[in-house]
């Protein structure tokens, strides 16, 4: 084990947090809350716990700024982690083992207990140094991000408790970069899941009837798969995944017997709409396809997330401007892209608050949700250095 790092209190606090198995399914956040309250006491910050949904705590630290009337800064992270398959791990996923080459293994090192602890350690440093920031800084730990954030940030962002924070800007998560460039997210694709149902009169399988449910279904699938091929060309030609609309056929249902023409067939698609796509035009296109397929063809949304505009990075958001500058003055380049997946930042943006996802993890293999998730301890400590500069910059805008 990497004994030279075992005496470092910064690393030991991180390891203590990683050892809490706040893992799905049936997460118990009790030990996370105990740990975080202890950190608040050590730093000397007030902490409150909101439980808008039973057993789903939202933990908020608050560092009051010199001008508390200004819109505040939110440093957000989630406490939950995805399941593990221990037999595929080199080291137990909740033992927080540090190997001799300096890698800290554990579920949550990258996604996203590491970033949450960087938020805490950055504020701890600033406060201990005697720094005073203009804006109030809130450090937030939420539940259930890995299952969609419905009982976590979504519920909290719609609450009166959230409104009282008077937020002007939020930092959330991105993902590690395998080179020396930090990746930031300023927006996300919109998740839509739809089910299209094609109906027709049932008949014997030996006939060649017209307008069967199967013919209608074929028309619909063909349209979607041709659009998918067009989008895949963009990806193959180098367009980042976050800027491509992904379409995947995930379920086909219907029929009662192999020799009976079915009365109903349905097909479901998982769709992630790129930020620049016209959502109304996309929906009208699907409606047109259903009409063209024939009578009694309809579609319904299983999931219809609202369109959320990306945070602008054109110079009009001063928080982004100083964030970018503060990182680049450290000699670290930063690249802002559209998140290929989904994070809690979408709920913040939905409230009209600019949000940037940022995980200052460079030269790190991307192992979010993977076996042997890990981070090098020096990368983690460098991330705290970077986060300290960012927090100071955005809180003094």
Tens digits of residue pLDDT in 104-155: 999 999 999 999 999 999 999 999 999 999 999 999 999 999 999 999 999 9
Whether residue 295 sits in one domain with residue 216: yes
Mean pLDDT computed over 199-211: 95
Whether residue 199 sits in one domain with residue 155: no
Whether residue 285 sits in one domain with residue 363: no
DSSP three-state, residue 131: coil
DSSP three-state, residue 128: helix
Mean pLDDT computed over 332-340: 95
d(CA 231, CA 29): 41
Torsion of CA 144, 145, 149, 154, to 10 degrees: 110
Whether residue 9 sits in one domain with residue 151: yes
d(CA 109, CA 144): 17
**Whether 372 is catalytic:** no
Mean pLDDT computed over 234-257: 96
Q: What is the pLDDT of residues 24-40, one digit of tens each?
A: 999 999 999 999 999 99
Given the residues 121, 145, 151, 388, select the one marked as catalytic.
145
**Residue pair 146/82 in contact by the 8 Å Cβ criterion:** yes
- Backbone torsions φ then ψ of 59, nearest 5 degrees: -105, 125
pLDDT at site 7: 84
Whether residue 224 sits in one domain with residue 267: yes
Query: How far is residue 275 from each of residues 243, 279, 341, 355, measured CA to CA in Å?
Result: 7, 9, 12, 15
pLDDT at site 3: 66
Domain boundary among 286, 304, 322: 304
Domain boundary among 261, 289, 304: 304
Nearest to 63 by CA among 164, 116, 133: 133
Whether residue 320 sits in one domain with residue 209: no
Whether residue 347 sits in one domain with residue 281: no
Tell me the residue range of the domain where 245 lies: 194-274+276-304
pLDDT at site 245: 97
pTM, two decimal places: 0.91
Whether residue 147 sits in one domain with residue 78: yes
Read off the CATH number of the domain in which 223 is found: 3.30.70.360
166 cis-preceded (ω within 30 degrees of 0): no
Whether residue 230 sits in one domain with residue 96: no
pLDDT at site 6: 81
Residue 165 in this model has a pLDDT that exceeds 60:
yes
Whether residue 157 sits in one domain with residue 33: yes
Tally the domains of the chain: 2
User: Which distant-in-sequence residues (6+ apart) come within 8 Å of 282 by Cβ?
Assistant: 273
Nearest to 79 by CA among 125, 127, 147: 147
**Whether 111 is catalytic:** no
Residue 156 in this model has a pLDDT that exceeds 80:
yes
**Residue pair 205/181 in contact by the 8 Å Cβ criterion:** no
pLDDT at site 149: 95
- Residue with token string 């957000």: 76
Nearest to 296 by CA among 265, 329, 273: 265
Read off the CATH number of the domain in which 111 is found: 3.40.630.10
On average, the pLDDT of the chain sits at 96
Q: What is the pLDDT of residues 166-201, one digit of tens each?
A: 999 999 999 999 999 999 999 999 999 999 999 999
Confidence of residue 1 (pLDDT cuts 50, 70, 90): low
Whether residue 176 sits in one domain with residue 144: yes
Neighbours of 281 (CB within 10 A): 8
Whether residue 317 sits in one domain with residue 290: no
Domain boundary among 260, 287, 304: 304
- Residue with token string 């074929």: 218
């Amino acid at each position: 084990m990497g004994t030279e790092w075992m005496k470092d209190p910064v690393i030991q606090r991180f390891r203590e947090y990683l050892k809490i198995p706040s893992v799905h399914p049936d997460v118990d956040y009790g030990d996370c809350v105990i740990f975080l309250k202890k950190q608040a006491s050590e730093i000397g910050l007030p902490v409150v716990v909101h439980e808008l949904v039973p057993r789903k705590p939202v933990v908020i630290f608050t560092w009051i700024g010199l001008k508390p009337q200004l819109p505040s800064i939110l440093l957000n992270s989630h406490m939950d982690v995805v399941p593990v398959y221990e037999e595929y791990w080199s080291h137990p996923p909740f033992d927080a083992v540090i190997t001799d080459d300096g890698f800290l293994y554990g579920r949550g090192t990258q996604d996203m207990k590491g970033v949450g602890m960087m938020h805490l350690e950055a504020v701890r440093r600033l406060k201990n140094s005697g720094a005073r920031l203009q804006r109030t800084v809130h450090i937030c730990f939420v539940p259930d991000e890995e299952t969609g954030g419905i009982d976590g940030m979504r519920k909290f962002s719609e609450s009166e408790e959230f409104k009282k924070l008077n937020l002007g800007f939020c930092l959330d998560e991105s993902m590690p970069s395998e080179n020396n460039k930090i990746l930031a997210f300023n927006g996300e694709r919109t998740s839509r899941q739809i089910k299209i149902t094609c109906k027709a009169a049932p008949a014997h399988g030996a006939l060649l009837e017209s307008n069967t449910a199967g013919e209608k279904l074929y028309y619909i699938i063909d349209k979607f798969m041709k659009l998918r091929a067009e989008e895949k060309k963009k990806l193959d030609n180098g367009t980042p995944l976050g800027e491509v609309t992904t379409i995947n056929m995930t379920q086909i249902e219907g029929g009662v017997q192999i020799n009976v023409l079915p009365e109903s067939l349905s097909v479901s698609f998982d769709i992630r709409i790129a930020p620049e796509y016209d959502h109304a035009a996309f929906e009208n296109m699907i409606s047109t396809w259903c009409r063209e397929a024939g009578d009694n063809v309809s579609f319904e949304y299983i999931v219809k997330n609202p369109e959320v505009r990306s945070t602008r990075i054109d110079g009009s958001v001063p928080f982004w401007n100083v964030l970018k500058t503060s990182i680049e003055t450290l000699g670290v380049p930063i690249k802002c892209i559209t998140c290929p997946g989904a994070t809690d930042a979408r709920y913040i943006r939905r409230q009209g608050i600019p949000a940037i996802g940022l995980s200052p993890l460079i030269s790190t293999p991307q192992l979010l949700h993977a076996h042997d998730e890990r981070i090098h301890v020096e990368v983690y400590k460098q991330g705290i250095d970077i986060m300290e500069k960012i927090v100071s910059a955005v809180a003094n805008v």
